[in-house]
Amino acid sequence: MKLLKKFIKWFFGIILILVALLYITDYGYILKGVRVVYLTGHVTAYIDDHPYFENVEIEASVSPQPWPTHAAYNKVPATQYLSETNERLGTVAFLIIKNDSLWFEQYSDGYNRESQTNSFSMAKSITSALLGKAIKNGYIKSLDQPIGDFYEQYKDSKTTVGDLSSMASGLDWDESYKSPFSVTARSYYDDDLGETILNQKVTEAPGESFKYLSGSTQLLGMLIEKATGKKLAGYLSESFWKPMGAEHPALWQVDDAENKVAKAYCCIASNARDFARFGKLYKDFGRWNGQQLIDSSFVATSIKPRFASSPEYGYGFWLSDHLDKELFVMRGILGQYVIVSPSDNVIIVRLGHQRGGNAGRPMSDDFYIYVEEAFAMLASEN
């Protein structure tokens, strides 16, 4: 019994020392990561994690605009391969919108059309759209404006706001999702996101090549707030969520209740129908019901490759020529997608728990399955 008591005493003593060391070395955020992830039965970030963080509401429209229902709504069932893939990867929402009308819609695992789940990096596309809005509103001059105009820390850098949006910033960000000590983990769980980002240095030549860094979008989001004097959630609501007739409010995660710095690179909790509105907005080159919400030239630039060596990315959007179609894509790490084929007037939305593997292609394997099977379904209608 004495040995047991001694062991327990030493065990908790070591735990207390480790906890103290984490806080002393400014790694206390790791404890929040443990509490949010492992103590809830998960091993990584998950689509329902927003209740464990501070959030700011993105207000819905007072004049909601529901998606019209297509005459063939849900008349064509999912292909067997699509059903198997959705089951295997935990798809919770799958939509096909044809000619701006709901053609196919399916929910599972207790989720429905109103369920809020984490967008993860689909938020990068939305943050880039807010950049387009800030340029249209005159808060930011152009894609070529240096970020040093907004932050003294970068006064000697040649990095532009366009470099942030197109993932060519040159920042020394470590895009690691496995190490709890990485800046990516810190930015997700820490309570002072602004300090974390503004400590990033420009260590590579900006504007020359594509390098996917979440820190680029986070700095862009903070820059937009600084330029406009508005918080991202409020600016998103007034610029897009309300004008596009979003039916439900959404949530944007922030670092803490005091700072309220939005996680611009991720973490908008909304539903498939409302996420799809950004697909339509960009498909129609920034125009919504006769109103030009962002300049068509900005949209056209966003959904074309900036660098010939990296044709998979534009400004805030992923790009693909799968099935010989010019697709642009909003994409999140667990297989969140808004996939748009402008030539077919088709939008595909998938939300879920997991994504597929990667065989060396720009997108993970599930992306190609969703595109192929959705278009197989559309072809079978005829």
Looking at the structure, tell me whether residues 161 and 56 fall in a common domain.
yes
pLDDT one digit per residue (tens) for the chain, 382 residues: 555 455 455 544 454 444 444 445 556 677 777 788 888 888 888 999 999 999 999 999 999 999 999 999 999 999 999 999 999 999 999 999 999 999 999 999 999 999 999 999 999 999 999 999 999 999 999 999 999 999 999 999 999 999 999 999 999 998 987 778 788 888 898 889 999 999 999 999 999 999 999 999 999 999 999 999 999 999 999 999 999 999 999 999 999 878 899 999 999 999 999 999 999 999 999 999 999 999 999 999 999 999 999 999 999 999 999 999 999 999 999 999 999 999 999 999 999 999 999 878 899 999 999 999 999 999 997 6
Looking at the structure, tell me whether residues 120 and 26 fall in a common domain.
no
Looking at the structure, tell me whether residues 170 and 205 fall in a common domain.
yes
Number of domains in the chain: 2
Looking at the structure, tell me whether residues 35 and 51 fall in a common domain.
no
Looking at the structure, tell me whether residues 20 and 48 fall in a common domain.
no
Looking at the structure, tell me whether residues 88 and 6 fall in a common domain.
no
Residues 293 and 299: beta-carbon distance below 8 Å: no
Residues 262 and 254: beta-carbon distance below 8 Å: yes
Looking at the structure, tell me whether residues 6 and 116 fall in a common domain.
no
Looking at the structure, tell me whether residues 27 and 100 fall in a common domain.
no
Looking at the structure, tell me whether residues 21 and 85 fall in a common domain.
no
Looking at the structure, tell me whether residues 30 and 169 fall in a common domain.
no
Residue 270, classed as helix, strand or coil, is: strand
Q: pTM for this one?
A: 0.93
Q: Which domain holds residue 293?
A: 44-380
Cα–Cα distance measured from residue 214 to residue 366, given in angstroms and rounded to the nearest whole number:
22
Cα–Cα distance measured from residue 293 to residue 288, given in angstroms and rounded to the nearest whole number:
7
Looking at the structure, tell me whether residues 220 and 196 fall in a common domain.
yes
CATH number at residue 306: 3.40.710.10
Looking at the structure, tell me whether residues 9 and 137 fall in a common domain.
no
